[in-house]
Every structure is written in structure tokens, then in C-alpha cells.
Amino acid sequence: MRILHKIILPLFVVVFLCATISLISREAAAKSGTRILSSKHKFSAHVHHPGATRRRVKNKKSAIKRHLASRRHSAISRHSLARHTSAAVVPVAASESHPASAAEEVLTAGRLRPRIGARAAIILDAGSGDTLFACSPDLPGQPASTIKIITGLIAIDSLSKDAQVIVSSHAAAMPPSKVYLKAGRSYRAGDLINSVLLASANDAAVALGEKIGGSESTFAALMTAKARQLGATNTVCMTANGLTARGQRTTPRDLAVMFNQIMKNQEFAERIRRVQVTTSFGALLRNHNRALWQVAGAEGGKTGYTCAAGQTYVGKFRRGESELLVALMGSHTMWQDVNTLVKYGFASEAKLAANRSRKHFGSEIVQVKQLGKERPNPLLVVLTDRKKVSL
């Protein structure tokens, strides 16, 4: 016990003295402004060592340079992203200081193409026939059910609405879309025409074709001849309903040209613009053309789809005095494409109308020869209401 006392007491005294000395040193350093490093730094030099100071300054400069470089890189990245984004989207909305014209509200033709999912498309002015936009408009492909516009037109011209059509087993066996006609049963031609134009019924199309042509193949030849009469030069029909067949083809341009002529038939136009109709045999026919209630100015149109053709469409639209045709083939985003093309088409029409108005106004201002020696310079004369006013 005595030995333990002799060992512990001196050790305690030594620890106490060390703690006291350390405390006194820290207080003195605090008063003089000198920094003493903790034991984590192994009590390494804290004094103003020239080498250490230079290293600290150099490290600070390097850190500042890295920070500034990082900020410059971020700014450049944001600027590049902003430029890339602005090149791919519609121009910003107009403000009071920067009013937007009709042409600025939509994409230019070059920027429009990447936004169209269709393989081929066209926009035509219904009055002049001018092309407002085209992308592979003469590329041939399977028409799918859009070709039923010819089926419907021939049926309207060939049959009265009350004519009776007997359905063959071949017609009844057609795949959907269909209205499930019964083989051997008679149906009114008017009901079958509505079934073709609104519900895109394959069985009704074949039944009408067989009634008019005697066989579907004969009727398909009549369809091809009618297409030529309507101005389509690249259309060949092999079926009455547009189902995929070897050698059958059309183009967006042909569809637009044909539909523009077909819509001049009043009965056809009245039938194809209906949203829904109930037949005399109790079937409710709903129009497949969503544009009638989704796109302003839609007057009528025909949809189509097969695996080989993709989504196809042809339609006519009217806003104010402007009328245009939209046709597309091989799409996978049909309704989005239709809406985009219609918007672009009417904006282009508005721009053309504005240009024509400016040219017309400019033609009213003419330059005349000098009228005499007293007035040697040419005069500008404005012709307004047949009165000549000198300026």
C-alpha cells in the first residue's frame, strides 16, 4: 500500500502540473493572437512559418481558381442547353414589346418535320390546290381504310339509300372493324354506306362492292378508275375495304386530292361529318374521326389502320375563309400529327393572306411621270375609291 502511494501521488502531481502549464499557455496564446494546434496535429508548427504561409496562400488561390472555373462551366452548360431547347420548340408567346405574328406561333416547315410521326404527309389549300407542307407526299403505301372514301362515293352515286343489299358469306366473314352483318340477310344501302364512312365497317364495304360490281375484284377495278377521274395518279385499289393486298397503294397527295373532290358531293359530305347514327337494323355507328370534336374546323375525314399501313388519315378543315386538306400515312401518333398539321396549315394560310393583302395595297401606289417643267420630280399617286389624290 505504501509502495502504491509512492507511485500514484507523484504521477498525479505530474499530470496536474502538465494540465496547469497547458492552460496557462493557451491563455497566453489567446492574448497574443498566436494559434496553437491541438494534439491531432501532433503539436506541429503553428508559428508564422514562411513556407507554411506560402503554401496556404497557394492552396487558397488554387481553390478560388477551381471555383471560378466550375461556375464558368456551369454557365456555359446552361447557355448551351437554352440554345438547344429554343431551337426545338415553338417560339415564345408574344408580349406587348414583341407581338407574335401567325407564322411565329407555329413551327417553321423545317422544324415541323421532326415533330410529325407519320412516314409521309401533306397539307393542301382546298381552293388553289397549293401545297402548304409536304413530307414524302408521293411515297406509295397501303391505304388501309382511307380508301373507303372511294367505296362510299361510288355507292352513293350507284345506289339509292333504300336499295336492298344481300350480304354474301365472303362479306360477312371480313375481319373487324365491322358491324357484324349476317350472311344471306338484306340491308338498306343507306345503312351500309354510313357503316363504311363512320364505323369503317369492312363487311359493309365488301357487301356494297359485290352489289355494285358483281364481285369485289371487279369493284376494286371501278375504284381505281374512279381514283383516276378524281385526279389520283398513284392509287391502285385491290379491295373494297382497304385491307392489305399485294399491289394496292396510294399516297398522301392522292388521298388529299381525291378527298377534296369527293367532299364536293353534298350527300357524301353530310354523311361523313355525322358523329353518330343509328341504323334501321339497330346498330349504333360512332364516327372514328375524332377530329370532328377535337380539332376546330373539321368538316369530315376518314381514318385507317393496318399493321402494314400503320395509321392513315385524310380530312378537310375550314376556318373562316380558309380551307385545307390534311393527309398522312404510316403514322404512330396520328391524332397528334393531325392537330400539328392543321395548326401549321391555318397559320400558313394566314401568312399568305397577309402577304397578298400587302401586295394588293402596294399595287394601289403607283409612280407617274413628271407632269410638267414646274414639277420635274415623279409623284406618288394613291388611287382610292377611283379618286386620284396627289401627295
Question: pLDDT tens string for the chain (391 positions)?
Answer: 555 566 676 777 777 777 777 667 666 655 555 444 444 444 343 444 555 556 665 565 666 666 566 555 444 444 443 333 333 333 323 333 333 333 334 466 778 888 899 999 999 999 999 999 999 999 999 999 999 999 999 999 999 999 999 999 999 999 999 999 999 999 999 999 999 999 999 999 999 999 999 999 999 999 999 999 999 999 999 999 999 999 999 999 999 999 999 999 999 999 999 999 999 999 999 999 999 999 999 999 999 999 999 999 999 999 999 999 999 999 999 999 999 999 999 999 888 777 666 665 555 554 444 444 444 444 444 444 444 444 3
Q: What is the pLDDT of residue 21?
A: 75
Residue 129: left (phi > 0), alpha (psi -120 to 50), or beta?
left
How many Å apart are CA 203 and CA 181, to the nearest integer?
7
How many Å apart are CA 372 and CA 300, to the nearest integer?
63
Domains and their CATH numbers in the chain = 120-360 (3.40.710.10)
Cell numbers 497557394: residue? 58
Q: How many residues does the chain have?
A: 391
Single pTM value for the model: 0.66
Cell numbers 389549300: residue? 125
Q: What is the pLDDT of residue 110?
A: 74
Cell numbers 336492298: residue? 164
CB atoms within 10 A of CB 87: 8
Q: What is the pLDDT of residue 64?
A: 67
Q: What is the pLDDT of residue 48?
A: 47
Which residues carry out catalysis? 145, 148, 200
Which segments of 159-201 does DSSP mark as H helices, in order? 169-172, 189-197
- Please confirm whether the linkage preceding 80 is cis (ω < 30° from 0): no
